[in-house]
Structures are given as structure tokens and as C-alpha cells.
Chains A and B, each alone.
Chain A
Amino acid sequence: MKSKNIKYIGLVILALVMVLVVVFTRAKPEKKEPVYLDGYLGGEKIGIFEDDEIAKILLDKYGVVFDYQKAGSYDMIVADHTNRNYLFPASQAPLELYKKTYQKTPKSEIIYNTPLVIYSRPLVVKALVQKGVVSQKSGVYYVDMNQLTQLMLDGLTWADIGVPELYGSIVVDTTDPSASNSGNMFAALLANIINGGQPVTAANVDEVAVKLKKIYDKLGYMQTSSADMFSQFLKIGVGANPMIAGYENQLLEFAVSNPDTWNALKNEIIILYPTPTVWSTHVYIALDKAGEAGIEALLDSEVQRLSWTHHGFRTGANASQETGQFNVNGVAKEVTSVTQLPDDAVMEQLIEKIK
């Protein structure tokens, strides 16, 4: 009896081991050693790099594993690049800065697009609707940037437009325009509006900067990361940040990845599309040969699809996209009213002048 048992146990172990050996030997030789890529990532894209489904595709199909350090789009250009394989800022301009700084043209590709939007709360939006600054069309809120900019230039307070609960002047909080892309783009947008809707040029940058500085002097401490800014907006509430500039994808991603929290917050948070707005084009910059493998991997159609449905990044700037799956009210199917950014040299001057 005893010996029989031992025999069976022996057989079971043997069978197990054989299965394991088969699995082991079959899986092993086919798999190349994965390539580990390390680099600086704009905070707004962390969700993509932490997404297990996307990571699996990147590893299985392309043998790529991404690690990252969070950094602002401009900060990352001047950061230490030792042992880094890529940079992944949130617009084209940092790429130009990279080329200028290092006198190199690295391999790069636009991976995602997302429009700049304004996030706010009902208390504020209600007052702005009454003032005619915000209007609603097919369930989507649009904010007239001409009027909003004028309110700020006039130095009006929240109390002046009928929100006595809030303290201080009307401002849109943004990230630091000299460190982070969303802040930089919003400054560009305001500058264009001040310039009568035309991209600011070297000829009129001084004149525009004087007015723009009036707005920026009121902002005080500015975060360097769009992700931190957005998180603070959600958490500390309307009193701290009545309106912030951010990327459209930030709210879409939040709603997908935190469904319970989002359901509780849903009626408190409103997405406003500026008219006009600007596109944030997320460019992947390869710093070395190894880093180049990241381009093809990130452009994979399945990765792109998941990047939209899980993280809210639009794949093309012009295409209309299905928005129903997000459980977020008022997401525009397409974004058409767009202005061009001033050129890099002008932007640089502008940011220097409003510091």
C-alpha cells in the first residue's frame, strides 16, 4: 500500500516535471531577451506605461519593456541623459529644443494627439454660462477664449462674476510654462488671443508679453507636471483651483481607471473645450539605437486603440472618434477650432518675459 502510494506520487512528480520541462524548453528559445528602455516621460502618459495590457503587447510582439522617470517636457531636454534611451514630451517644441541644444537630429515620431482643455466645476461654469463666456452645443461645453482672456486682463475677481464663495482673481491655473508643456501651450494660446487671434510674431512679442505677464503674475507657485496639477484639481477642490488647463486625455483616463471614484465625482467635474484650442502632439524621441525600437512598438494599432479607450489619447488630430465608452459627459467627437502655436524662438522669448 505504502510503496504503491509512493510510486504514484513519484509518477505524478515525474509527469509534472516533464510538463514543466516542455513548457520551459519551448518557451525559452523562441523568446529574445527583452529590451529594457529607460527614459523621461511626460507625467500625463504614465498611465500608458503602467498599463498591463499595453505592456504585454509591447513585450510579446516587440520585446520591449519600458521604464521611466517622470519629467516636464522642457525639463527632460536639459536633464541628464546618461543611460536613457528615450524622451517622450508632450509636443513638438521640446524636440526642436533638443535639436538646437545638442546639434543632433534624433529619430522621432508623433505617437499621440490630445487637445488642450479647461477643467472646472459647476459653481464656476454656471457663472461663466450666465456671463456668456461658456456655451453648450450638443452637450459639449465650449469656452470663448476671447471673453475669458478679457476677464483676466480686466483683473476681475470671482466675486465680480457672481461667485462670492471663491476668493481672489479669475485665473486659469496651469503648470509652469517654462518647465511643462501644458502650461507652455496654454500661455501660447493666451498670447495668440491677446494678439487678436493671430500667432504672436517676433514683431509683436513685447507688446503681447506685457499683457500676458499681468495674468501670469497672479499664478504664484506652478507645478511642473500636468499629472500632479490635474490630481490636485480633483483633490483639493474648487476653492484651490476653480479652473485649470490640462489635456483632454487626463479626465478620460481617470474615468476609465478609477470608475468608482469617478462615479462619485462625475457631477462635480466639467470639461470645457476652448475656442480656439491647441493640439498637444506627443512626440517620442529616441536617444540611441535601442530607443528606436520604442517607436514601432508604440505605433502598433492595438497599442494605439488601447491608448484611446483606456487613456484617452487621440491617435490622429483630424479624425472623429467614438466617445460614448468613457462615461464622461460632454466629450467632443472632434476638435476643429484650432490655432497655430507661435514659432519656438518667439515662444522662448515670451516665456522668458513672463517669468
Chain B
Amino acid sequence: MRKVILVIMACFFLSSCGPTSNFSGNDNPPAEADFVAGKGDVLRIVSGSENEELEPIIEEYAQKNRVQIQVDYLGSLEIMNLLSQETIDYDAVWPASSIWINMGDVSHRLKHTQSISTTPVVFGIRESKAKELGLMRDDVMIEDIAQLIEAGQLSFAMTSATQSNSGASAYLAFLTALSGSGEVLTTEALEQPALQAQISNLLSGVNRSSGSSNWLVDLFLKSHYDAMVNYEALIISANKQFVAQGDEPLALIYVKDAISIADSPLAFIDKGDSSDKEKIFLSFQAYLLSKDTQNKIEQTGRRDAYGNIDPANEKVFAEWGIDTKMVLSPITLPKAETIRLALNLYQTTFKKPALTLYCLDFSGSMSGEGNDQMMKGLEQLLIAENAREHFLQGTTNDVSYFIPFDSDVLSIYQANGNDAELEQAYERLRAESPGGGTDVYAAILEALKRLDGYELANYTPAIVLLTDGRSMQDNEDEVVRQYQAMNLDVPIFSIMYGDADPAQLEALADLTNARVFDGRKDLTDAFKKVKGYN
């Protein structure tokens, strides 16, 4: 009898321990994500950058519930592209707006889609400037903004319409408003020369572009731009910091006929085999939608999932011209095919042409893997067919320079337009072979020289620097001197690879109001991201 019981006991314990030990064995593979919270079973989310502000809220959940939440930040349009791929390395998506989910989820893998918060896309303009321009009223129309731009009285920063939701939503709203009072934008309307001229004029007012809404806020905190298009929530958060550092806050302007609302949908990717993931997901989602968490989310300047604000949080929304009582009439989004056409036209025709100067490291340490990776990245930008896939193809008026360097500038070639000449440049770069030392400053000085002679206000200019090593610094002071003497506002975006010195690259970013992209994880991806900023 005893033996039988022992056997049964053994079976019982074995069977009940089996799965549990399996789970803990799977825990915590080395996490490589932009943000990682907690330890335990893993939920991987790909999210728009605007949710970075919610990290403390996510952290709290992960700690309490012993799960690990990994978040990678990606533009909403890239998330849409991701959804159309066969395999997705994530358990959930969290873009800024439902439209990208609806357009991307063609194979119906998403489940439990729920809006977590809402926030409109608005203009933020320094208070004194908004007063001066007569914009502190509640009936501003897009025509008013267009006139100010035409008169040279207003310019603004906006994220790229083909990379980020805030830019895309604003752009579609501009088009809709310009095409006629309150009617939906159609493909026929997009083909009208009058509308094309109007939108080009409006976009000529864009003085800084960006691939991410969040970074636009960082840019404003460091520099002195006057106006941007961004989420109400992010402008509120920027204003809090402006006030704290003694800077002038931005007034929020709700352009009556060009409003769009981001509804921040969080959805589970059903792969048919992951019921445990689904449970973790549902519990996390329920936490975000619970009264307590919604309250905390409101405190970050977001309206709750139903577009309301708890009376206790109204003070968050009380200043800077914020109007939560106004009925927001967002534009009716056009049909999917019209949206795609509009995005293509933005990228190839309507936006300011890009003036891009690529300084590319061909020093000895780049040979092999480094060079391969760099060429793969460039292949995505320079071969027209690849670029189109990621909405990275430029306009026919784009100008690109390629400056391969080691301890000296190796050569310089120019490519005009968005196709054949870029492909030729790519072939020439492939023929270069790495060797020698590294002097990024020599290459930058050359790039700065090339800027002379361009009317920079007519372009979105940028220097894109890729390097894998610590640079000789003989020319560093000269770069700073030149840059300041030329009174430039041209960002030097660096892609850090191999043993590059972050301090050197950060100093360049600080000097030029730019940022450093980490290409050590995925160089191809870094190239794509950087191009999204210009």
C-alpha cells in the first residue's frame, strides 16, 4: 500500500512540478530592448515613442506581478509595416493610433485591441509668439496658419509624416482641411495642382523634422525653436519642463478644421500558441485600464481612454490655452489607398527636399563585418525599391553627398534626385576598401564646405556620420569654430558603431541639436531611423 502511495505521490509531484519548472527555465533571456521592466515571464511590446513617458507606470506593474515587460520603440508607420510581415518578434503592439493597426493587420492576427488613452495632435507655439501672431483664439483655421507661413512669420517642427503618427496625422489633417470644408480627402483631390501647391507651401514652414514625437520634445528643451506640431500630452510635458527651467512655455493651438486624435491602441498578437502570453497581456491591459492607472496616465497629460478627464486631474490641463471642454471634431480619415498615396506624395513631392551629407567611415577597423553592415544599411536607403518599402525614398530635388573617409577625406561624390544617381553612388561606395585611421572631423569640415551655396531654408539639411572608432581630434576645434561662424542649424546625426567614442559623438549632437543613434545592435535599422529624421 505504502509503495503504491509513494508512486502516486511521486507521479503527482512530478506532474505538478513539470510545467512550473519549465516556465522558470524560460525566464529572462538576455533582454535586448529599449526598455525592460521587472523579472519573470516575458511580454514583448513594440510601441510608439510617446509611451516612453509611461515607463514608471509599466515598471510598477512589472515589479508587482513578477513579469518582465520589454518595450521597443518604433514609429507607428514602421509598426504598420511590421504587422504585414509573416513573423513578428513581439507579443503586442502599441502604436499611437488605430489607423496603423487597421491598415497593417491584414491577416487578422490582432486581438483584444483597446485604446489606453487619447490625445489630440495640436500646434504648440511659444506664448509670446502666439499672441503676437493673433493665434490665441478658439477659431484658428488651417488657412490662418498657411498665411503666416507664406508671410514668413511662422515656421514649425514636425515629425516625418511617413515615420511617425503625429506627423502623419497632422499632415493628413492639413490635406483634408485644405481640400475643402470638412469633407473627406479623396484621391482625385490629391491630384489637384492647387491642393498640391497649398500643401507644399504649408510644409515649407517645417524647419526641423524628426522620426519620433518624443525626440521633438528633447530638441525643444535644448534649443530655442518657436513652434511644433505634437501631441497635446507631449506639449504639456514639455511645458512642465520649460517652466521648471525658466523657459517660456508653448501655447496649445487647436486648429479647428485640422484636428486629429491619437487613441493609443494596445493589441495582442495572436500566434495561436501562446495562451500564457495572452493571460499576461490581458492582465497588463486590465491594469492600464483600471481606474488607478488611468488616473496616473491622466496626470501625464493624456485624456483617459474615453476622452475624459477626472475632475481631480483638471489642473494638469488648466494652463497654456488647453481646452478640454471644446468638442474636438477630428478629420474623417481618407480611404486606405488615399492615405498610401498621400504618404508617397509627401515623401517624393510635397516635403522639402533633403540635403544629406553622408560621412562614412572607411578606416581599417571597418573592414569585414563593419563594412558589410554599413553597405547593407546604405542599400536600404539608396536602392530606390528598398527605400520605397520603408517610405524613405526622397524627392526628385534631393541632393546627397557621399564623403568616405579614414584619417583623410577619401573622395566626394554628389547624387541628385531619388533613384539612378543614388544607386550609382552606392556602387562606388561598394568599390571603396577600408584602411587607415579615423578623423571624423576632417570629413565634417568637408561636409560643411559643401553646404555653402545652398539656400538651406529650402531644404531639410543633415549630416549623417557613421563611425566605428575613436577619432583623431586635431580638427575638432575647427569644426566647432566653422559651424558657429557659419551660423548653421544643420544637425549632425551620428551612427555609433564598434568602438566609436560616445562622448565625441554626443558633443557633435549637442553642438548641432541632433542625436546619436546606436548602430551596434542593428546598423541597418539605425540607417533607416536616421533617414527618418531628414
Taking Cβ atoms with an 8 Å cutoff, the residues of A that contact B are 14, 17-18, 20-21, 24, 38, 40, 67, 69-71, 75, 79, 123, 157, 165-169, 217-224, 228, 231-232, 234-240, 260-261, 264-265
Closest to B275 in A: A67
B329 near A69 with CB under 8 A, answer no
Q: Scoring B residues 94 to 105 as 1 if CB is less than 8 Å from chain A, else 0, what string do you get?
A: 000011001000
A220 near B113 with CB under 8 A, answer no
Cα–Cα, bound, A221→B263 (Å): 16
> Can you offer 22 A-B residue contacts whose CB atoms are under 8 A?
A40-B108, A67-B272, A69-B111, A166-B329, A168-B181, A169-B182, A217-B186, A218-B183, A219-B332, A220-B333, A220-B335, A221-B332, A221-B336, A228-B113, A231-B113, A236-B263, A236-B307, A239-B259, A239-B328, A239-B330, A240-B261, A264-B308
The B320-335 residues at the A interface (CB cut-off 8 A) are: 327-330, 332-335
Contacts of A218 in B (CB 8 A): 183-184, 332
Closest to B177 in A: A167
Taking Cβ atoms with an 8 Å cutoff, the residues of B that contact A are 5, 8-9, 12, 98-99, 102, 108-111, 113-115, 118, 181-186, 256-257, 259, 261, 263, 270, 272, 291, 305-308, 327-330, 332-336, 338-339
A240 near B330 with CB under 8 A, answer yes
A168 near B327 with CB under 8 A, answer no
Most buried by A among B182, B259, B291, B339: B182
Closest to A18 in B: B5
A236 near B261 with CB under 8 A, answer yes
Q: Could you list 17 further interchain pairs (A-B, Cβ under 8 angstroms) beyond the known A70-B110, A123-B327, A240-B261?
A: A14-B5, A17-B5, A38-B272, A69-B109, A75-B108, A165-B329, A168-B182, A168-B329, A217-B184, A218-B183, A221-B333, A221-B334, A228-B102, A237-B307, A238-B327, A261-B306, A264-B308
Contacts of A24 in B (CB 8 A): 12
B115 near A167 with CB under 8 A, answer no
A235 near B305 with CB under 8 A, answer yes
Closest to B4 in A: A21
Closest to B176 in A: A220
Contacts of B118 in A (CB 8 A): 235-236
Contacts of B272 in A (CB 8 A): 38, 67
Closest to A224 in B: B102
CB within 8 A of A17: which of B12, B115, B307? B12
B12 near A169 with CB under 8 A, answer no
A71 near B257 with CB under 8 A, answer no
B332 near A70 with CB under 8 A, answer no
Closest to A38 in B: B272
B329 near A70 with CB under 8 A, answer no
Closest to A220 in B: B184
Min CB distance, A325 to chain B, in Å?
24
Cα–Cα, bound, A217→B338 (Å): 12
Contacts of A157 in B (CB 8 A): 182
Min CB distance, B298 to chain A, in Å?
14
Most buried by A among B12, B108, B113, B336: B108
Q: What's the dominant secondary structure at chain B's contact region?
A: loop
CB within 8 A of A220: which of B115, B256, B334? B334
Closest to A223 in B: B102
B327 near A237 with CB under 8 A, answer yes
Contacts of B99 in A (CB 8 A): 221
Cα–Cα, bound, A231→B329 (Å): 17
Closest to B326 in A: A165
Contacts of A234 in B (CB 8 A): 306
6 closest Cβ pairs, A-B complex = A168-B182, A220-B184, A167-B329, A239-B329, A221-B333, A220-B332
B182 near A71 with CB under 8 A, answer no
Cα–Cα, bound, A157→B180 (Å): 13
A168 near B183 with CB under 8 A, answer yes
B306 near A228 with CB under 8 A, answer no
Contacts of B308 in A (CB 8 A): 264
Contacts of A222 in B (CB 8 A): 335
B108 near A70 with CB under 8 A, answer yes
B108 near A221 with CB under 8 A, answer no
Cα–Cα, bound, A260→B291 (Å): 10
Cα–Cα, bound, A222→B339 (Å): 12
B332 near A231 with CB under 8 A, answer no
Cα–Cα, bound, A70→B107 (Å): 10
Min CB distance, A143 to chain B, in Å?
21
Contacts of A40 in B (CB 8 A): 108
Contacts of A67 in B (CB 8 A): 272
Cα–Cα, bound, A218→B184 (Å): 6
Cα–Cα, bound, A37→B108 (Å): 17
Contacts of B8 in A (CB 8 A): 17, 21
Cα–Cα, bound, A165→B263 (Å): 21
Cα–Cα, bound, A24→B334 (Å): 59
